[in-house]
Amino acid sequence: MKKGHIIGLGIIAVAIVIIISSIGDASSYESFSTAKEMASNGDEDPIHVVGHLKKDSRGTVTGLEVGEDKTSFTFTMVDNDGTEQQVYYNEPVPADFTRSEQVVVIGAYKTDQMFVADKILMKCPSKYQDNEFRDVTASKN
Amino acid sequence: MINTFIGNLGHFMVILAFVSAIITAWSYYQYTIVPETEKASWRKFSRVFFYIHAVSAVSIGVILFNIIYNHRFEYFYAYSHSSEALPVHYMISSFWEGQEGSFILWIFWDVLLGLFLIHTNKSWEGPVMVVFSLVQAFLVSMVLGVVIGDLKIGSSPFILLRDVANAPIFQMNPDFVPEDGTGLNPLLQNIWMVIHPPTLFLGYASTLVPFAYLMAGLWTGRYKEWIRPALPWTIFSASILGMGIIMGAYWAYVTLNFGGYWNWDPVENASYVPWLIIVASIHTMITFKKSSTALKTSIVLVITQFILVLYATFLVRSGVLGDTSVHSFTDLGLSGQLLIYLFFFLFVAIFFSVRAWKHIPSSEREASVYSREFWIFIGATTLGLMAFQVILPTSIPVYNAIIEAFGGVSNMAPPADQVEFYTKFQLWFGVVVACLTAVGQFFWWKKMDKAALKSALVTPYLISLLLAAVIISLAQVWDIVYMIIVMAGTFTIVANATILTKLLRKSTFKLAGGSLAHIGIGMMLIGIMFSSGYSDTVSINMSGLTYKRDWEDELNKENVLLWVNQPLQMKDYEVVYRGRHKKLEGVPGYVSVRKLEMTGQQNKAIALEDIVIDGETYHKKGDEVDIVLEENSYFEIEYYQDQKLQFTLFPMSQPNPTMGLISSPDSKHYLTKDLYTHISAINNYDDPEWGEAKEYKATPGEQFHLGDYVTTFEGGEVVNAVEGVELKEGDVAVKANLVVQDHDKQIELAPVFLIRGNQVGRIPVINHDLGIKVQVDNISPEDNQFVFTVNSYQKDYVVMKALVKPYINVLWMGTIIMLMGFGVAIYRRYDEFVKMRDKGLE
């Protein structure tokens, strides 16, 4: 076998390892119910859940409890299937949290009742660019 | 009044730039194919049109900046990216905050590069400029803003707000102009955001140059010759793009709350991957110049790096990363256009390569293990695999989009812990690259066989082992993986330093580029290892409580709550939060908000006392002072060790109405480490909800508890003047002097009780730090008692995080050395090209 072939095979082997590990380490978007199922089957890999905060009829966020030392909080999240779930996050409340339109939590169930988020991604009405025109009362004219 | 002229002029310039780019491409095509006798006139014609293109492209930028600079908020771009309060240098960053502005920046750089190429090339001008002008046409089309039926081509930065917004105000008054814009994203209000995007876009723009030379070479049958002019530009591209990436990392380090400089965010990855391929292509191109091998590999890599830049642009701007990246742009509906752009050049490149493939010389000779070609090839392959490992998972949202486009369902998400996932691969690749640069350099400068290699490597190897041992024991690196990294890093530094000294002894500094750049890489590897691997969170909450009753795990909290003036032990330091500060125009350092009273006017305040810094009085009491960006507060955090004040940090925070709390850390820089302090949450200060009033009675001299504070009522005092109130004949004003003890601070409060005729007035004092409002409710002279009512809300606090980043300076120093190496290499290769050109050979 020529040296070039050995190198070629080596490269292919590394590439395959990379592909397999990318698939293996890729997370997935789940709902709370499938996440719970995964947890009860002993699968503790972190997953992504997309949803929004629970709000009352007046649009106020309910179920947000801030820890006494303000460095952690729990909140109630509703996933896209409508399942409500209490989520714990071991960081201070992000300041624009209650304004978020959509939240993605990355984490896993620690107990049956408690989903622990390692990371929270938020989508706010105008996070990157102000595409909605907010009424400006004052005018130059 | 609404000014539509300037926008129309801008739009006209865009169309002119687009049309002139197409004409230039066509005429340079003619210039390339016509017989020698007609060339001169075609060249003149082409150049004239490229100049027209250049002028119109620059005008687009000038006009857009004029719109921002003059606060023309009738234009959507100015309205949504700028505001009245921005200083000029941030207006520059708001220029490229939006996608349209950043495309214009890209177009501008390409114009400069194009002009440079026209005037430095002879035989290459025609075919290279065809490719250049075509790329320009595609880029300009991104800001064209032409709508034909349902087809939208480009997004114009010159559209009026009234044409975009649905607000009812425009039905009532079409000439309505908002008074202020929505402002610049506060994260971008940083000096690095003024210079990082232009650098990065110059890096992106310059990847076109080697690609254009390659296409020109394949087209005109100069399959080998394109390498010489392309090489200095490839190195230029690698250094500028590398510099841009590192500037972005530095910006993230000093501005963002990531706690680091690299987060493996898709947008970061999208710039890192082409950079790796560019670096790989530099190596194969150099190999070709030395030994006529690796030409095909070079061709593939040069095409790949250009296409990857387009792919990166697509990832960032199509909105496909929306859910996975913290800083991708919003979708402007350009994804289709970006894909056409990408596939057009991909097909052109494949077409020309396939057509030329059989004519491209390749060496049939098997490269020996003792040849430099072999080692460089392995190095380039490693870089390619590194790039592959990053781009594959980064593209997960693209796979989902493709599967969904075909009606499937895909719920694949990026790895949950990106940093861990990418690091575990890239770290080992880094070790391999470091070892290859060390060994490869020896092969480079000498003919090698087994014996020669041994003798050449043994000394550097021993020295580096010794050095690594010293570093490992001094810095206490006890993790085996990190030990290997230190060894690989020192090995590449020592080996390349050996080569460097040999080269310098022969006084050929021109050749030193490679070894300098490799020394830089070795230092970066060690710096990255220490600063991330040994990053230490200092602000661990030491309370050790179980955090939630129904779940037993204990989690370490990385944030601590600091009440004002109340010390807290965290690891080696005792920290105290001392209150908020502002920056004032013309005053060094920070000024406590206690000394300022806000006026309600933007960035203006009244000094409540003399503002004295280091013995110099900058403002007198009662002066109006200018605040530098009123929204920004600086939180004074004192660090003590053994009861002695070590240093004070002022991390910044801005509660932003659209983005929430935006924080920028402050760091204490040591030679060997940075201590990094970041604000995670703050007390809402401006609009407190006062609790119920409590009543306290006290006689002068009495000590009592005011809420949680031990307070001494020193006595009442009749005063002749009260601030803010004009005293009349017969008025009696009594000031009550209270001293509140808050840990080591004594805070004096003096509410005033005023009697005019048979009416009383009460002037309360508010102390935001303590979160209390005190007023004298009554004075009963019979029993010599003062009655105070006290409302309270919350003492001032911050929640903060502190990290130690060891040896981060090694990373920054390594970067600078690497860039110096690139600089030397560019000089050498460009010099070569110029000499050959002047001999009439190119």
> From CA B524, how far away is CA B116, in angstroms rounded?
33
Percentage of chain B exceeding pLDDT 90: 36
On chain A, the residues whose CB falls within 8 A of the CB of B369 are: 3
* B369 contacts chain A (CB < 8 A): yes
In sequence order, the β-bridge partners of residue B669 are: B674
Report the pLDDT value the prediction gives residue B380, as an integer from 0 to 100: 92
Question: How does DSSP classify residue B530?
Answer: I
> Is the pLDDT score of B328 beyond 80?
no
B393 CB neighbour count, 10 Å cutoff: 25
Phi, psi (degrees; rounded to nearest 5) at B721: -140, 140
Q: In the predicted model, what is the mean pLDDT of chain A?
A: 77
Distance of CA B720 to the CA centre of its chain: 57
> From CA B471, how far away is CA B466, in angstroms rounded?
9
Residues B417, A136: C-beta atoms closer than 8 Å: no
If one compares B563 and A125, the residue with the highest pLDDT of the two is B563
In a domain, residue A70? The reply is yes
> Is the pLDDT score of B740 beyond 50?
yes
Report the pLDDT value the prediction gives residue B796, as an integer from 0 to 100: 87
> Is the pLDDT score of B841 beyond 70?
no
Identify which of A85, A79, A49 has the alpha carbon closest to the alpha carbon of residue B323: A49
> Is the pLDDT score of B366 beyond 70?
no
B657-698, pLDDT tens digit by residue?
666 677 888 889 998 888 989 888 888 766 667 778 888 888
> Is the pLDDT score of B364 beyond 80?
no
Report the pLDDT value the prediction gives residue A131, as an integer from 0 to 100: 38
> Is the pLDDT score of A126 beyond 50?
no
* B543 contacts chain A (CB < 8 A): yes
Q: What are the Cα distances from residue B489, in Å, to B179, B428, B494, B639?
A: 56, 12, 9, 34
In a domain, residue A92? The reply is yes
Report the pLDDT value the prediction gives residue A139, as an integer from 0 to 100: 28
On chain A, the residues whose CB falls within 8 A of the CB of B557 are: 69, 71-72, 90
On chain A, the residues whose CB falls within 8 A of the CB of B377 are: 7
Report the pLDDT value the prediction gives residue B469, as an integer from 0 to 100: 92
The answer to whether the CB of B583 falls within 8 A of the CB of B634 is: yes
In a domain, residue A103? The reply is yes
The answer to whether the CB of B231 falls within 8 A of the CB of B225 is: no
| Highest averaged pLDDT of the listed ranges A45-59, B184-198, B257-271, B515-529 | B515-529
* A139 contacts chain B (CB < 8 A): yes
In a domain, residue A62? The reply is yes
* A112 contacts chain B (CB < 8 A): no
Residues B660, A99: C-beta atoms closer than 8 Å: yes
Report the pLDDT value the prediction gives residue B352, as an integer from 0 to 100: 94
B412 CB neighbour count, 10 Å cutoff: 17
At B800, the amino acid letter reads: M
pLDDT-derived band at A140 (thresholds 50, 70, 90) equals very low
pLDDT-derived band at B309 (thresholds 50, 70, 90) equals very high
Pick from B367, B415, B557: CB nearest A71: B557
Identify which of B578, B561, B689, B676 has the alpha carbon closest to the alpha carbon of residue B633: B578
Buried b (16+ CB within 10 A) or exposed e, B207-233: bbbbbbbbbbbbbbebbebbbbbbbbb
Report the pLDDT value the prediction gives residue A135, as an integer from 0 to 100: 32
Length of chain A, in residues:
141
Average pLDDT over residues A94-109: 80
Report the pLDDT value the prediction gives residue A1, as an integer from 0 to 100: 56
> Is the pLDDT score of A134 beyond 60?
no
Q: What ipTM was predicted for this assembly?
A: 0.81
> From CA B202, how far away is CA B179, in angstroms rounded?
35
* A5 contacts chain B (CB < 8 A): no
B121-168, pLDDT tens digit by residue?
888 999 999 999 999 999 999 999 888 877 888 888 998 888 877 777
Phi, psi (degrees; rounded to nearest 5) at B179: -70, -30
Average pLDDT over residues B734-739: 88
The answer to whether the CB of B24 falls within 8 A of the CB of B131 is: no
Q: In the predicted model, what is the mean pLDDT of chain B?
A: 86
Chain A nearest-CA residue for B374: A4
In a domain, residue A105? The reply is yes
Percentage of chain B exceeding pLDDT 70: 94
* pTM for the predicted model, two decimal places: 0.87
Q: A129, A137, A141: which to substitute to probe chain B, counting the most B Cβ within 10 Å?
A: A129
> From CA B403, how far away is CA B405, in angstroms rounded?
5
Interface of A with B in 7-26 (CB under 8 A): 7, 11, 14-15, 18-19, 21-22, 25-26
> Is the pLDDT score of B542 beyond 80?
no
B741-763, pLDDT tens digit by residue?
888 888 888 888 888 878 888 88
Among B445-459, B491-505, B548-562, the least confident range:
B548-562
In sequence order, the β-bridge partners of residue A61 are: A55
B432-462, pLDDT tens digit by residue?
999 998 888 777 766 667 777 778 888 888 9
A137 CB neighbour count, 10 Å cutoff: 7
Buried b (16+ CB within 10 A) or exposed e, A32-57: bebbbebbeeeeeebbbbbbebbeee
Question: How does DSSP classify residue A98?
Answer: G
The answer to whether the CB of B506 falls within 8 A of the CB of B537 is: no
Residues A124, B659: C-beta atoms closer than 8 Å: yes
Average pLDDT over residues B192-211: 92
> From CA B100, how far away is CA B416, in angstroms rounded?
32
B5-60, pLDDT tens digit by residue?
999 999 999 999 999 999 999 999 999 999 988 999 999 999 999 999 999 999 99
Report the pLDDT value the prediction gives residue B842, as an integer from 0 to 100: 62
A30 CB neighbour count, 10 Å cutoff: 18
Residues B385, A11: C-beta atoms closer than 8 Å: yes
The answer to whether the CB of B746 falls within 8 A of the CB of B761 is: no
DSSP secondary structure string for all residues of B24-48: HHHHHHHHHHS-HHHHHHHHHHHHH
* A140 contacts chain B (CB < 8 A): yes
Report the pLDDT value the prediction gives residue A103, as an integer from 0 to 100: 83
pLDDT-derived band at B793 (thresholds 50, 70, 90) equals confident
B797-833, pLDDT tens digit by residue?
898 888 888 888 999 999 999 999 999 999 998 988 8
Among A4-8, B331-335, B709-713, the least confident range:
B331-335
pLDDT-derived band at B548 (thresholds 50, 70, 90) equals low
If one compares A45 and B157, the residue with the highest pLDDT of the two is B157
pLDDT-derived band at B279 (thresholds 50, 70, 90) equals very high
On chain A, the residues whose CB falls within 8 A of the CB of B558 are: 90-91
Query: Is the torsion defined by CA of B501, B506, B507, B509 positive or negative?
Result: negative
In a domain, residue A86? The reply is yes
Residues B173, A119: C-beta atoms closer than 8 Å: no
Identify which of A103, A90, A96, A99 has the alpha carbon closest to the alpha carbon of residue B662: A96
The pair of structure tokens assigned to B765 is 């004092």
B45-61, pLDDT tens digit by residue?
999 999 999 999 999 99
Chain A nearest-CA residue for B539: A71
pLDDT-derived band at A35 (thresholds 50, 70, 90) equals confident
Average pLDDT over residues B620-648: 89
> From CA B498, how far away is CA B730, in angstroms rounded?
91
Domain span at residue A70?
A: 29-140
Residues B658, A118: C-beta atoms closer than 8 Å: no
* A67 contacts chain B (CB < 8 A): yes
Among A53-67, B61-75, B444-458, B602-616, the least confident range:
B444-458
Question: How does DSSP classify residue B280?
Answer: H
Residues B385, A15: C-beta atoms closer than 8 Å: yes
In a domain, residue A11? The reply is no
In sequence order, the β-bridge partners of residue B639 are: B575, B647
B72-113, pLDDT tens digit by residue?
888 988 988 888 878 888 888 888 888 899 999 999 999 999
Total of domains in chain A? 1
On chain B, the residues whose CB falls within 8 A of the CB of A128 are: 185, 327-330
CATH number at residue A103: 2.40.50.140
On chain A, the residues whose CB falls within 8 A of the CB of B548 are: 74, 88, 114
The pair of structure tokens assigned to A43 is 């699968």
3-state secondary structure of B477: coil
* B80 contacts chain A (CB < 8 A): yes
In a domain, residue A12? The reply is no
